Structure 1
Amino acid sequence: MTGWLIAFGLAIAAFLAMLFVGRIPRSTREIGAAALLLGLAGYAWQGHPGLTGMPRMARKATGEKFDEKLAEQRRGLAERYGKAAQWLVISDSYGRRGMTKESANVLLSGLRATPDDANLWLGLGNALVAHADGIVSPGADFAYRRSMALDPQGPAPRYFYGLALARGGRLQAARDLWEPLAASAPRGSEVKAELEANIARIDAIMKQGAPDGQ
């Protein structure tokens, strides 16, 4: 109800302003009134006048979303010496400040220059997931799959795609990516131990009947 009162109040105030401040001629008053009524009709159609107001806090541009450990793992598994490094370094700098959109846009610029760089596609997937608060959006899904297609033997695309899927609750899909990767990882390596531990946790969760978001 409050929404309607505010809307009608603003419409009346606008009409009075046109009459006494703008001094519109009599011939155009009906047109002005009709325009205001159309505005109210649009509000009734697309707005939500019955909902109570709720203040929204602007999200601060902080680095809370940026996972420094994740970035270091990516550098170790993928692009430390590759051509993508310069773009990823700039993207990470935006990510640390919570500027996730800018972080992804930098990588898009890099991909325009080198569209077949698997590391840039991988970085874009990670950046889009961060921008979506951990959700693997269709864009992120495409970026990860493109990275895997360009680097089918590389461990990084499958590792980080699986990690994003697991964090998003798509446990079986993550397990399907990680199991062959763990089998092919060097014996005694840190990544092999981590993958095997992750797979064991997934198996335990799925055994308990937890819902899989796949």
Structure 2
Amino acid sequence: MSWLPIVALAALAFIGAIFIVKLPKAMWMLFGASLLFGLAGYALQGSPGQASAPASGQKERSVETGELLVQARREFYPEGALPSRFVITADAFARRGQFDQAANFLRNAVSENPRDGEAWLALGNALVEHADGQLTAAALFAYSRAEEVDPSNPAPTYFLGLASLRAGEPGRTRQLWQELLESAPEDASWKPLLAERLGRLDQLLGIAPQGAAPPTP
């Protein structure tokens, strides 16, 4: 029964072309053949009887990732210091998993103010997510610019490590985070958080904490 609406739609298109569009009689056969070819192609490749199954799982994961990335990025900036209007708009798109749109707004942000370190950082994150976790050359450039304009902020190195983890290079992630932790000021507010995440990474990699006694054979 699922074919009936498709055939009926083709018939309506043919009738409409004749009586509404006033298709010349000489073109009737050609137009009808085009419709038949279209139906034949759908018969070969389409699945009219199969229930639709939207990829909601992937969309939900993208939305969750976008929300977590925005929250994690803001942890490295003062709570009262709001980002630029472009970054705020881009964050709204990132929270919906629309990283391509977020990247477009962030390009405007760095074009308007090349010294906006948070915009460069957010751009790097958006580009990585838009590339399905791949650390592209454009993302690397964005992270390097974020570090260049704000060298005292650890966020570019942290998210570069996170992107390396996404790209399947946990060893590189650990190296970046370990170096960042060792060079951090003692009173850095983000130091305990980074130490906790590095500890979780070590657990995943099977690395014993420093100072821990070796296991007995």
> Quick check: TM above 0.5?
yes
Residue of 34, 46, 49 corresponding to 2:47? 49
Tell me the secondary structure at the aligned position of residue 105 of structure 2: helix
- Aligned equivalents of 1:137, 1:29: Cα separation in 2: 52
User: Matches of 1:14 and 1:199 in 2, distance apart?
Assistant: 63
CA contact (8 A) 2:143 2:156 kept: yes
Identity, % of aligned pairs?
29
Relative distance call for 1:106 and 1:12 in structure 2 (3 A) is same
Question: In structure 1, what is the equivalent of residue 210 of structure 2?
Answer: none
Q: Is residue 136 of structure 2 the alignment partner of residue 136 of structure 1?
A: no
Question: Residue 172 of structure 2 aligns with which residue?
Answer: 173
1:106 alignment partner in structure 2: 105
Describe how 1:60-139 pairs up with structure 2 within 5 A.
Answer: 65-67=66-68, 69-76=71-78, 80=81, 85-92=84-91, 94-95=92-93, 98=96, 100-101=98-99, 102-115=101-114, 117-128=116-127, 132=130, 135-137=132-134
Q: What is the distance in 2 between the residues matched to 1:24 and 1:88?
A: 53
Which residue does 1:30 correspond to in 2? 29
Distance 1:117 1:159 in 2: 18
2:28 partner SS = helix
Matching residue of 1:185: 184
Is 2:177 the counterpart of 1:197? no
Deviations 1:13-63 (A, max 9, x none): 322443455554431111211321343355467x53267121549879xx8
Alpha-carbon distance in structure 2 between the residues aligned to 1:164 and 1:138: 6
* C-alpha distance in 1 between matches for 2:73 and 2:18: 61
Cα 1:57/1:157, change in 2 over 3 Å: closer
Q: C-alpha separation between the residues in 2 aligned to 1:116 and 1:43?
A: 53
Counterpart residue identity of residue 10, structure 2: A
Matched AA of 1:147: Y
Q: Point out which structure has higher relative CO (alpha carbons under 8 A, 6+ apart).
A: 1
SS in 2 for 1:147: helix
Partner of 1:212: none
Deviations 1:49-97 (A, max 9, x none): 267121549879xx864346324214249xx59xx745334434x3487
Displacement after TM superposition at 1:157 (Å): 0.7
- Tell me the TM-score normalized by structure 2: 0.65
Rate the CA distance shift 1:11–1:111 in 2: closer, same or farther, 3 A.
Answer: same
SS in 2 for 1:75: coil
Hey, which bits of structure 1, 4+ residues long, moved more than 6 A? 57-60
RMSD: 4.1
Please tell me whether the aligned partners of residues 133 and 166 of structure 2 are also in contact (alpha carbons under 8 angstroms).
no
Residues 119 and 147 of structure 1 are in contact (CA less than 8 Å); yes or no, is this contact kept in structure 2?
no
User: TM-score if structure 1 supplies the norm length?
Assistant: 0.65
Measure, in 1, the Cα distance between the counterparts of 2:48 and 2:55.
21
Q: 1:172 to 1:7 in 2, by over 3 A?
A: farther
Q: Which amino acid aligns with 2:36?
A: L
> For residues 22 and 149 of structure 1, what CA distance do their matches in structure 2 show?
58
How many aligned positions are there?
196
**Paired letter, 1:66:** E
**Residue type at the aligned position of 1:75:** Y
Deviation, structure 1 residue 147: 2.2
User: 2:213 maps to what in 1?
Assistant: none
